[in-house]
Amino acid sequence: MTVTCPYCKKKFHKGKTNEFGRLSKHIWKEHKSKQSAKIKKGQRAKTKQLNEELQYTDDMIVQSLLNAGIPLSAPMQQ
């Protein structure tokens, strides 16, 4: 059986060692940045602490405006 590198199309034939293992070693050695990007692409981005703090601050401002009796309205476009 023959496996092919998806990046450079180099072929790995069946031999004494597992061809999939050799392909994996080749990819991590020769195409590390592409492989890392492929893995990161499948992961969800972690929420940043700053975003959580800003959301909390916005919620506090909205709540204080509502408590003061100031009605909230969407900004009007001109």
pLDDT at 28 over 90: yes
Task: For the chain, give every domain's residue range.
Answer: 2-41
pLDDT given at position 30: 95
Average pLDDT over residues 49-68: 88
Q: pTM for the whole thing?
A: 0.50
Q: With the CA atoms of 64, 69, 72 and 76 taken in that order, what torsion angle do they form, in degrees rounded to the nearest 10?
A: -130
- Give me the residues paired with residue 4 across strands: 11
| Residue 21 C-alpha from the chain's centroid | 26
Average pLDDT over residues 23-30: 94
pLDDT at 33 over 90: yes
- Kindly state the greatest CA–CA separation across the chain: 79
Asked if residue 56 lies in contact with residue 63, where contact means CB atoms within 8 angstroms, the answer is: no
